[in-house]
């Protein structure tokens, strides 16, 4: 890369260390990777230490400090992608390109690997090619893709239909059904004023849609009341669009269909808490949305709905989009703020909570995309109107991202209180064995629980609804989730850093037919330990899927367990696998045993 | 100063002041709460979780949790010590800890804490990570095999030495300590053996050269008495002073 390119990137971000994530991303987009000289140059220009720059560059999955090929193909590896056959397709692509997964080709042309759920569960198997999303992969597309890569055709010239992403809205409700003219809610909000708006949010009973269900009015009030250490009394609004929970894709659709609702919700939040700046933290997997969203922001600025004097008032507010780079943990609000500041996404010690000490230690409210969109509706129609939908303690609507074994995967918006059974009927699910609500960190429901309701008082949900029918093996579902958490643990605290890795090993050991009763007992103990001692929600919930499947689908484990007592993890036959690979042998005589698979 | 308030630590009254953490209050009263990443001279970090206690029924890290008057805190209960043993197991198996041949043996906080808690085996399978050693610096060597990611060196170099020589990089189980230099080697940084960071490592990562085994194993810090015996009551710091 010419140093002029890097200079212009650095200039565009005013050489600010807090903009490190965007500087790294744009540098990598220009260069294909982050070479040591570029990291050194960025450190010098921003005044950060080189170690600090490396620390951030090494933390995020989508930054690479070594070349990974002109073409980088990442297969979304959520369980729903697996159920749609992504593993065989990835193998086929690797075979066509003479590659091993995770390795760069000898000529430096291409690498193929897996990545955590990319939020395309209703149209998988999905891949990211140089961080552009391709959906509906099949064998034809794999062969065509291999040919395009071998012919070195730039990704920009690949068939356009590969990059098409469907919204798949199957059922619309309050949010998806409610067209509001841009500025309408804002005018109503400005007429009420910040305190009046807060009253409406309180009347509405709005609770956070990210899963925890914290009262939005209380969060905004705390942020409004907190003392800012900044000379100008700065406060911040952050929209959490780091939709990383596997199986969740409703924020993607909200940002595609109703970006004005979301941005206007952020602006109203700014009015309520007294902030002048907002950030949309968009997950790296949704890079393709960036240009369209920037265009919406530009349009809103031109219309006087953002900027120095909004709708002719003395209220000023503007929004910046911050793109993530592949780290699930950044969905945790304090980790997200660290990431906004250009650092690795490691959750902070709480208290203090972000509402008192968030971005740059100023009061910051972090709200989910759906929460802010709902706030916008409340500003326009009033809190009482909103509270008429849903249940008494879970007001309004909930958007579910339905995927897995059903006829019509996609987006379903219901008033809170809908039963799991109702959703299953509407999406055309048959002979359902289990539903994973709210993703791996949520809860797994068995058929005797399908009468339960999606609501904060019963089954809370951040939006994921993954359906598994009777042909599925729930052990493999849990094993996929165990590897997901091991990959996404930030590594800050001992129980999560090591515990998630040990859990993944336990599950692999059981899968290889070497599990014992003792291992199952260890898993229960690990669940209790991680739940009690982990630093944040990731570690506290990471063992949930294993725990739930062990409790509710025990036979899927038992049939893999041969030994009643202890079995060592060391597998002599597996230890020979490297020798087999080197000699190209896989015949029975090259194995110590051939009775591995259950 | 008004009469100090108290909370209960394993049934004993411990004085506490506003803003003091459970760990600080316990330390000032000469009570031992097992810990690794906490150090009285540095801001609490809360990553090792060895200091977990149960405060009014909730499991929290004593080093970051504020002591509140009247609170009931369980510290050396079978449940908490059981958590601690498992966490110690994890720290041992994720790195390469060969105590019998380690220069730090007898002076090592990890080893001493494991003895204190009666950790008799590793419990989990070892990870045996591949971690190179950095012996480039003339006065100090870095043996990353023993790193427990407590970030005490990171804090000491940043907050005391003003150099920011160490940082953690990577994520999850691949998280690791790095050195602030273009080559990544300690010799190419401005690290000095007189830095506070050179003598803060609780395990055997940062080792001074040419003094190894000067004190024989058997006569070292934790050979004479267990780590818990080191906790002694201290006079409370004057008001306004940073504890």
Average pLDDT in the B168-196 region? 97
User: Looking at residue A148, what is its pLDDT?
Assistant: 98
Sign of CA dihedral A385, A390, A396, A397: negative
Residue A64 lies in a domain: no
> What integer pLDDT is reported at residue A589 of this predicted model?
85
Q: How confident is the model at residue A563 (pLDDT cuts 50, 70, 90)?
A: low
Q: Are residues B42 and B127 in the same domain?
A: no
**A491 and A516 both lie in a single domain:** yes
Angstroms from A520 CA to nearest CA on chain B: 13
DSSP lists the bridge partners of residue A434 as: A468
- Looking at the structure, tell me whether residues A136 and A76 fall in a common domain: yes
Confidence of residue A476 (pLDDT cuts 50, 70, 90): very high
- How far B80 CA sits from the closest chain A CA (Å)? 10
Give the number of domains in chain B. 2
- Mean pLDDT (whole number) for A568-587: 82
B3 — pLDDT class (breaks 50, 70, 90): low
In angstroms, the CA B67 to CA B215 distance is 39
Distance CA A527, CA A507 (A): 13
In a domain, B149, yes or no: yes
| pLDDT value at residue A564 | 63
> Is the domain of A501 the same as that of A454?
no
Q: What is the pLDDT of residue A213?
A: 94
Question: Under an 8 A CB cutoff, do B173 and A498 touch?
Answer: yes
Q: What pLDDT digit, counting tens, does each position of A521-562 carry?
A: 999 999 999 999 999 999 999 999 999 999 999 999 999 987
A519 contact B CB<8A: no
Helix (H, G, I), strand (E, B) or coil at B43: coil
Q: What share of chain A is helix, strand, coil (3-state, %, to 5)?
A: 50, 15, 40
Q: How many domains does chain A have?
A: 5
Q: End-to-end distance of chain A based on CA atoms, in angstroms?
A: 52
Q: How does pLDDT run across A379-428, given as a tens digit for each residue? A: 999 999 999 999 999 999 999 999 999 999 999 999 999 999 999 999 99
Residue contacts between A and B (CB atoms, under 8 Å): 120
Q: What CATH number did the domain enclosing B190 receive?
A: 3.30.70.20
A342 and A212 within one domain = yes
Mean pLDDT of chain B: 94
* Contact state of A491 with B170 under an 8 Å Cβ cutoff: yes
Mutate to test the interface with A, among B54, B127, B169 (most CBs of A within 10 A): B169
pLDDT at position B241: 44
Q: Supply the DSSP string of A25-62, one letter for each residue.
A: HHHHHHHSS--HHHHHHHHHHHT--HHHHHHHHHHSTT
Using a CB-CB cut-off of 8 Å, the residues of chain A touching B172 are: 486-491, 497, 500-501
- Tell whether A34 and A83 lie within a shared domain: no
Rounded to a whole number of angstroms, the distance from the CA of A49 to the nearest CA of chain B is 7
- Based on the fold, state whether residues B123 and B166 are members of the same structural domain: yes
- Please tell me the predicted confidence (pLDDT) of residue B2: 56
Are residues A199 and A258 located together in one domain of the fold? yes
| Partners of residue A493 in chain B, C-beta under 8 Å | 46-49
Cα(A56)–Cα(B135) distance, rounded to whole angstroms?
26
How does pLDDT run across A147-174, given as a tens digit for each residue?
999 999 999 999 999 999 999 999 999 9
- List the domain range (segments joined by +) for residue B192: 107-224
Please judge whether B59 and A532 are an interchain contact, meaning their C-beta atoms are less than 8 angstroms apart.
yes
Q: How confident is the model at residue B240 (pLDDT cuts 50, 70, 90)?
A: very low
User: Mutation test of the interface with chain B: which of A51, A484, A500, A509, choosing the one with the most B Cβ atoms within 10 A?
Assistant: A51
Instruction: Inform me whether the C-beta atom of residue A489 falls under 8 Å from chain B C-beta atoms.
Output: yes
> Which structural domain range is residue A213 located in?
188-387
Question: Would you state the structure tokens that stand for residue B214, as one six-digit string?
Answer: 């000067």
Q: Is A316 a domain residue?
A: yes
Nearest-CA neighbor of A423 among A440, A441, A445? A445
- A67-94: average pLDDT: 97
% pLDDT > 70, chain A: 98
Distance CA A387, CA A393 (A): 9
DSSP state letters, A359-417: GGGS-EEEEEHHHHHHHHHHHHH-HHHHHTSB-SSSBSEEEEEEEESSSS-EEEEEETT
* Cα three-residue angle A41-A43-A45, rounded to 5 degrees: 70
For residue B194, is it within any domain? yes
Contact B127 A533 (CB under 8 A): no
Q: Are residues A461 and A540 in the same domain?
A: no
pTM of the model: 0.94
Residues of B within 8 A of A54 (CB-CB) are 167, 169, 178
- Specify the pairing of strand B58-61 against strand B72-74: unpaired
| CATH code of the domain containing A531 | 1.20.1440.230
Binned at pLDDT 50, 70 and 90, residue A571 comes out as confident
Q: How much is the average pLDDT of B20-49?
A: 97
Q: Indicate the pLDDT class of residue A593, thresholds 50, 70 and 90.
A: low
pLDDT at A565: 67
The mean predicted confidence, pLDDT, of chain A is 95
**pLDDT, tens only, B109-120:** 999 999 999 999
Contact between A523 and A554 under an 8 Å Cβ cutoff? The reply is no
- A-chain residues near B165 (CB < 8 A): 51
Q: Does A159 reside within a domain? A: no
Is pLDDT above 60 for B44? yes
Task: Identify whether A163 is part of a domain.
Answer: no
Residues B66 and B112 in one domain: no
B49:A494 CB<8 A: yes
pLDDT digits (tens, 9 = 90+) for A204-262: 999 999 988 999 999 999 999 999 999 999 999 999 999 999 999 999 999 999 999 99
- A487 contact B CB<8A: yes
d(CA A165, CA A120): 8
Strands of the A110-115 sheet, one edge to the other:
A110-115, A71-76, A127-129, A132-134
Q: Are residues A465 and A482 in the same domain?
A: no
Give CA separation, A463 vs A210, A427, B96, in Å. Answer: 8, 15, 42
Instruction: Quote the tokens at residue B144.
Output: 């990353």
pLDDT band at A2 (very low <50, low <70, confident <90, very high): low
In this prediction, residue A117 has a pLDDT band, given cuts at 50, 70 and 90, of very high
Q: Is residue A421 part of a domain?
A: yes
Specify whether B72 is located in the same domain as B113.
no
A227 and A250 share a domain?
yes
Residue A392 lies in a domain: no
Confidence of residue B231 (pLDDT cuts 50, 70, 90): confident
Residue B70: give its domain's CATH number: 3.10.20.740
What pLDDT is stored for residue A561 in this prediction? Answer: 87
Domain boundary among B59, B76, B93: B76
pLDDT digits (tens, 9 = 90+) for A326-373: 999 999 999 999 999 999 999 999 999 999 999 999 999 999 999 999
Same domain, yes or no: A303 and A360: yes
Q: Is the pLDDT of residue B12 over 60?
A: yes
Q: Say whether pLDDT at A596 is over 70.
A: no
Residue A168 inside a domain? The answer is: no
Any domain includes A540: yes
Q: Is the pLDDT of residue A498 over 60?
A: yes
Q: What is the DSSP letter of A483?
A: H
Q: Which positions in chain A touch B83 (Cβ < 8 Å)?
A: 529, 532-533
Q: Is the pLDDT of residue A376 over 90?
A: yes
Residues B113 and B21 grouped into a single domain: no
Model confidence band, residue B233 (pLDDT cutoffs 50, 70, 90): confident
- What confidence score (pLDDT) does residue B235 get? 65
- Express as a percent the part of chain B with pLDDT over 70: 95
A308 by DSSP, 3-state: which? coil
Burial of A463 (0-12, 13-18, 19+ CB in 10 A): buried
The confidence score (pLDDT) of residue A597 equals 44
Judgement on whether residues A455 and A480 belong to the same structural domain of the protein? no
Contact (CB<8Å) A495/B49:
yes
**Would you state the pLDDT for residue B234?**
76
Is B35 in the same domain as B139? no
Report CB contact under 8 Å: B90, A498: yes
Residue of B nearest to A347 (CA): B47
Based on the domain organization, do B49 and B152 belong to the same domain? no
Cβ neighbours of B166 in A, within 8 Å = 51
In sequence order, what are the residues at sequence separation of 6 or more whose Cβ sits closer than 8 angstroms to the Cβ of residue A346? A329, A335, A338, A490, A491, A492
Lowest average pLDDT, out of A53-67, A116-130, B222-236, goes to B222-236
Nearest to B91 among A491, A494, A500 (CB): A494
A349 contact residues in B (CB cutoff 8 A): 44, 46, 64
Point out the domain boundary residue: B57, B76, B95. Answer: B76
Q: How far is A115 from chain B (nearest CA, A)?
A: 14
Answer yes or no: is B166 within a domain: yes
Residues B56 and B164 both lie in one domain: no
Lowest mean pLDDT, pick from A266-270, A489-493, B62-66, B214-218: B214-218
Asked if the Cβ–Cβ distance from A501 to B93 is below 8 Å, we say no
Q: According to the model, what pLDDT value does residue A211 have?
A: 83
Residues B21 and B130 placed together within one structural domain of the fold: no
Determine whether the interchain pair B169/A59 forms a contact, defined as Cβ–Cβ distance below 8 Å: yes
The enclosing domain of A456 has a CATH number of 3.10.20.600
pLDDT, residue B243, reads: 39
pLDDT at residue A598 is higher than 50: no
User: Do residues B113 and B220 share a domain?
Assistant: yes
Of the pLDDT bands very low, low, confident and very high (cuts 50, 70, 90), residue A586 is confident
Looking at this predicted complex, what is its ipTM? 0.95
Within A182-316, where are the H helices?
A: 184-204, 216-225, 250-257, 259-273, 290-302
For range A13-30, the mean pLDDT: 97
* B170 vs A contacts (CB less than 8 Å): 58-59, 491
Q: Are residues A37 and A78 in the same domain?
A: no
């Amino acid at each position: 890369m010419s140093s002029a390119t890097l200079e212009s990137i650095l200039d565009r971000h005013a050489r600010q260390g807090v903009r490190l994530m965007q500087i790294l991303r744009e540098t990598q987009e220009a260069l294909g990777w982050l070479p040591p000289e570029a990291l050194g140059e960025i450190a010098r220009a921003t005044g950060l230490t080189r170690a600090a720059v490396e620390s951030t560059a090494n933390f995020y999955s989508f930054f690479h400090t070594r070349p990974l090929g002109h073409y980088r193909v990442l297969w979304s590896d959520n369980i729903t992608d697996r159920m749609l056959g992504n593993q065989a397709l990835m193998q086929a692509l690797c075979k066509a390109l003479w590659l091993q997964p995770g390795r760069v080709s000898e000529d430096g042309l291409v690498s193929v690997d897996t990545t955590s759920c990319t939020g395309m569960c209703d149209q998988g198997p999905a891949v990211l090619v140089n961080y552009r999303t391709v959906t509906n992969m099949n064998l034809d597309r794999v062969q065509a893709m291999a040919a395009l890569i071998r012919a070195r055709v730039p990704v920009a010239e690949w068939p356009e239909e590969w990059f098409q992403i469907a919204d798949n809205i199957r059922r619309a409700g309050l949010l998806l059904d409610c067209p509001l003219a841009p500025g309408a809610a804002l005018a109503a909000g400005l007429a009420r004023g910040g305190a009046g708006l807060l009253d409406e949010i309180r009347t509405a009973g709005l609770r956070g849609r990210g899963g925890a269900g914290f009262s939005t009015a209380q969060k905004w009030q705390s942020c409004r009341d907190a003392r800012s250490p900044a000379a100008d009394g700065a406060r911040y609004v952050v929209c959490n669009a780091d939709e990383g929970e596997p199986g969740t894709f409703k924020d993607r659709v909200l940002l595609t269909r109703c970006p004005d609702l979301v941005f206007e919700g952020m602006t109203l939040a700014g009015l309520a808490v007294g902030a002048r700046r907002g950030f949309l933290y968009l997950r790296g997997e949704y890079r393709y949305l960036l240009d369209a969203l920037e265009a919406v922001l530009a349009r809103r600025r031109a219309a006087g709905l953002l900027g120095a004097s909004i709708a002719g008032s003395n209220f000023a507010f503007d929004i910046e989009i911050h793109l993530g780079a592949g780290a699930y943990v950044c969905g945790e609000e304090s980790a997200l703020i660290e990431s906004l500041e250009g650092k690795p996404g490691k959750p902070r010690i709480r208290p203090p909570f972000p509402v008192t000490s968030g971005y740059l230690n100023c009061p910051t409210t972090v709200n989910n995309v759906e929460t802010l969109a709902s706030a916008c509706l409340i500003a326009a129609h009033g809190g009482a109107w909103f509270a008429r939908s849903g249940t008494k303690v879970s007001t309004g609507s909930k958007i579910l991202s339905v995927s897995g074994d059903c006829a019509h995967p996609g987006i379903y918006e219901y008033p809170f209180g809908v039963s799991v059974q109702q959703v299953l009927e509407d999406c055309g699910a048959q002979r359902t064995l289990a539903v994973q609500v709210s993703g791996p960190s949520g809860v797994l429901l068995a058929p005797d629980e399908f009468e339960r309701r999606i609501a904060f008082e019963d089954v809370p949900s951040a939006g994921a609804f993954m359906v598994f029918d009777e042909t599925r093996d729930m052990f493999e579902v849990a094993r996929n989730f165990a590897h997901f958490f091991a990959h996404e643990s930030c590594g800050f605290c001992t129980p999560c850093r090591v515990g998630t890795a040990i859990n993944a090993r336990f599950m692999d050991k059981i899968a290889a037919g070497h599990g014992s009763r003792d291992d199952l007992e260890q898993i229960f103990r690990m669940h209790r330990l991680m739940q009690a001692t982990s630093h944040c929600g990731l570690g506290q919930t990471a063992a949930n899927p294993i725990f739930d499947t062990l409790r509710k689908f025990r036979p899927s484990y038992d049939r893999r367990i041969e030994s009643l007592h202890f079995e060592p993890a060391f597998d002599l036959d597996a230890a020979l696998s490297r020798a087999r690979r080197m000699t190209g042998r896989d015949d029975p005589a090259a194995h110590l045993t051939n009775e591995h698979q259950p | 100063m008004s009469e100090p308030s108290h909370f209960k630590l394993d049934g004993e009254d411990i004085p506490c002041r506003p803003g003091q953490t459970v760990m600080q209050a316990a330390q000032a009263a000469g009570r031992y709460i097992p810990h690794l990443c906490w150090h009285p001279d540095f801001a609490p970090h809360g990553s090792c979780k060895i200091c977990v206690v149960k405060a009014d029924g909730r499991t929290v890290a004593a080093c970051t949790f504020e002591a509140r008057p009247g609170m009931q805190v369980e510290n050396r209960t079978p449940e908490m010590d059981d958590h601690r043993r498992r966490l110690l197991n994890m720290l041992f198996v994720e790195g390469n800890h060969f105590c019998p041949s380690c220069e730090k043996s007898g002076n090592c906080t990890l080893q001493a804490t494991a003895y204190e808690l009666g950790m008799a085996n590793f419990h989990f399978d070892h990870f045996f990570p591949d971690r190179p050693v950095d012996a480039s610096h003339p006065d100090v060597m870095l043996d990353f095999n023993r790193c427990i990611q407590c970030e005490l060196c990171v804090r000491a170099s940043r907050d005391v030495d003003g150099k920011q020589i160490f940082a953690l990089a990577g994520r999850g189980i691949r998280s690791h300590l790095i050195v602030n230099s273009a080559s990544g080697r300690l010799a190419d940084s401005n690290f000095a053996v007189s830095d506070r960071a050179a003598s803060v490592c609780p395990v055997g990562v940062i080792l001074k050269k040419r003094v190894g085994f000067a004190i024989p194993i058997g006569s070292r810090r934790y050979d004479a008495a267990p780590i818990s015996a080191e906790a002694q009551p201290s006079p409370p710091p004057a008001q306004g002073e940073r504890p």
